[in-house]
Structure 1
C-alpha cells in the first residue's frame, strides 16, 4: 500500500453511506450541506519514490486527440478543453497521455462527465498516492477520506464572516504545497452551481517564469522558500474541526522543474508560501510580494473557466496556480457551489539549472518539426 494512503475504517456514526453507491450531487440537492469532519487521525506522511505516468505517454497524444470529438486550446499559454471523452472510460494509455497533456498545458477541461466518486478515486490513484486533506470536509461514507468536499452556500453568514476582509486574489495557491511531496495533479468535479458566477482561474507557472527578465530569472533560480500549513492549522483552531494530520512547513525551490516536460516553473504563491530562506523578513517580503503580484496580474497567462454542471478540471499543481472566484457570495441570490476534489501527490519539488524554460522547449520542438496540434502548445 502506498505510504500516503491509510487503511482506516471509520468507526463513527457520521459515515453512513456506501462508497459504491455514493452520489454526492444527489446528496447535496436532497440534504443540503452534508460534509463531515470525523475525528480520524493519520500519521505523518512518509517520503516515497514517485513515478510519473507522463513518462509512459505517447508524445503525439494520439489516444486522446484521435478519439475526441473536439480539442481546442482555451488560451495560447494555458488551458485545453476536450469534448467526447469520458474520464471513467479511459484506457491505461489515455491516462498516461492525459498526464503529459496536463503537464504541458497546465489544466485540461472536460464537460458532461459521468464519473462517480469511487471511479474518481480509482482514476486519481493512477497518478500517485492520494492526499487526505488535513482539515476539509469529507463525504459521510466509509473509504471516502481521500475525497475533499467543495460546498459553499452563497449566503452562508458564517462563511462570509470568516473570509471578510480577504481579497479574492489572496486565494491563489497550488494545492497543499506545504507538504514534503505536494500534489502533482488535481481532479475537481463541479456538479452544482449558483445561478451565475463561481468561475475558477488558473495561471501558468511556466509562463510566469518566462515573463521574468533574464536578470530576475537568474536571481530567483536556486532560491528556496518556506511553504506553511498554517492556514489549515488556523482553520482547525478557528472552527474546532479536527486536524487529521499535522499540516507541516517545508522548504521548496522558488523555481522548480517538471519531471516530465523538463520545463522550469515559478513555484511561490500567496496562500502557502511564507518566506525566502536566507533573506531578512524585509527582503523576503519585498521579493515575494513582487512575485505574487506578477502571478496575480498576469492576465495574459491565465485562463478563466466557466463551469457547467458535471464539468471536470484536471490540472498540474506543480506548474499552475489557481483561485476560485467568490463573485456569487452574499448577493442574496442563493444557490450552492458544490463538487469534490481528488488529489494525487507527486515528487518532492526540485530545481535543475540545466533545465529549459517552456518557451525554449517549444521553440526547439518547432525547429525539430513538431506538429503543433491542439493541446500540445
Structure 2
C-alpha cells in the first residue's frame, strides 16, 4: 500500500526544477545506498537505421542548420527537442551519428521530457557511483562552482579531461543529451568535442592497420576509489571492460578511434612500456587534433546531443574562481563496441560521395 503522501510526492517530483534547485541549494544531489544488479546484455537497434538519409524531417522544419567545423559539430535553430516527432527523433540519431555532436539553443525541455527523449535511443544508464537528483537516478548532474575543491584540478592537465562517458561499461552510451541551464557569467565553461572518425582518418595507413587489431581495457576504478573515499555506495560490482581500439558505428559504418585518457588504461597483449607508448601517442593525437575538434560556447538552456561511440569530449574548467555552472545529462546505452573488417573510413566515404555527385 502506498504511503498517504505518495500522490503529493509524485507531483513534487514531476514538477522538480533542477535549475532552480541549483540556484537555491547548489549541491542538491542525493547518494542513496541503493545497489543494482549487473547490467544485462541487450540487443540495441539504433533508431538512426530507420532515418531518412536526407533527414528531411529536420532540414525541412528547422529555421537554420549549419556546420560549425568541417569535421564535427552542427547547430540547429528553430526546433524544440521536447516537440520532436518520432521521425525527427530517428533523423536526429542519424545526424548525430554523422556529425558527432549537434547543438540546440533556447530549449524548453525539462528533466522529465529529457528522460522520455532519451528512452527513444536506448535504456537509460544509472551511474555506478555519482549522486543524482532526488528520485531521479538516471539523471547525471553537472555542477561546479567557486566552492569546488581545487585539489583535483591542480594535479592534472586540461588535456587529461578528454573522455567518452562511462566507456568502461560493457555496452557504453550511444547518443547522449546534455542541457546546460546555469552559467558562471558571460564567458567560461565551454565544452570541446573531438571526432573519433577523423582521429582515425588522420593516422597513417600503417598505424591504422596496427591499431585496428588491438583491444584496450577501460576502467572506472578511479570513480570507485573516489566514491569509497567519500563513503558513497558502489551500485554495481563491474567497472572494467575490454573494447576494440577502433570501432565501427552501426549506422554510418565508419571507423572511429575509441580510446581516451579518462577511462582507457592499457592495451591488451602489449607490455606496459609498449602500451603506455601507444596510448600516450593516441591521447596526444586526440588532445592536439585541433583540425577535428569543435569548441561550443554555451548559452543558458542550450542542449548538446552527441554520440559517445564516435566522439570524446572535454569540459573546460576555467570558471572555478568565477561562478557556478549547472546542467543535467541523460545517457542511453547502445551496442557493445565492435570492429568490423568491412567498416569504412569517413574520409574515404566522403570522397566517394563527392566523386559520385560530380558524375551526376
Are 1:145 and 2:137 counterparts? yes
> How far apart, in 1, do the equivalents of 2:114 and 2:277 lie?
41
> How far apart, in 2, do the equivalents of 1:338 and 1:17 lie?
24
**How much does 1:17 deviate?**
7.6
**How much does 1:62 deviate?**
0.4
Which string of whole-angstrom CA distances, capped at 9 and with x for unpartnered residues, describes residues 215-261 of structure 1?
A: 10011012100011112111212222211223421110000000000
Partner residue in 2 for 1:162? 152
Are 1:276 and 2:252 counterparts? no
> How far apart, in 1, do the equivalents of 2:156 and 2:225 lie?
15
Which moves more between the two structures, 249-258 or 228-237? Answer: 228-237
Which string of whole-angstrom CA distances, capped at 9 and with x for unpartnered residues, describes residues 285-331 of structure 1?
A: 000000000000001100000000000000000000001000112x3
Partner residue in 1 for 2:109? 115
Instruction: Name structure 1 gaps, 5 residues minimum.
Output: 1-8, 10-14, 371-377
**How much does 1:281 deviate?**
0.4
Are 1:124 and 2:114 counterparts? no
Is the contact made by 1:233 and 1:247 (CA closer than 8 Å) also made in structure 2?
no
Are 1:341 and 2:329 counterparts? yes
Partner residue in 1 for 2:309? 318
Partner residue in 1 for 2:257? 266
Q: Which of the numbers 226, 247, 268 marks the counterpart of 1:235?
A: 226
Partner residue in 2 for 1:183? 173
Q: CA RMSD in A?
A: 1.9
Are 1:207 and 2:206 counterparts? no
> How far apart, in 1, do the equivalents of 2:120 and 2:356 lie?
32
Partner residue in 2 for 1:45? 39
> How far apart, in 2, do the equivalents of 1:368 and 1:100 lie?
21
Are 1:99 and 2:93 counterparts? yes
> How far apart, in 2, do the equivalents of 1:151 and 1:354 lie?
42
TM-score of the two chains, using structure 2 as the length reference: 0.95
Is the contact made by 1:232 and 1:247 (CA closer than 8 Å) also made in structure 2?
no
Partner residue in 1 for 2:76? 82
Instruction: Name structure 2 gaps, 5 residues minimum.
Output: 4-8
Partner residue in 2 for 1:361? 349
When residues 156 and 291 of structure 1 are mapped into structure 2, their CA distance, relative to the original with a 3 A threshold, is: same
Number of equivalences: 353
The DSSP-based 3-state class of the residue aligned with 2:154 is coil
**How much does 1:167 deviate?**
1.3
Partner residue in 2 for 1:327? 318
**How much does 1:363 deviate?**
1.6
Q: Which of the numbers 241, 245, 254 marks the counterpart of 2:245?
A: 254
Which moves more between the two structures, 104-113 or 227-236? Answer: 227-236
> How far apart, in 2, do the equivalents of 1:247 and 1:310 lie?
35
Is the contact made by 1:19 and 1:117 (CA closer than 8 Å) also made in structure 2?
no
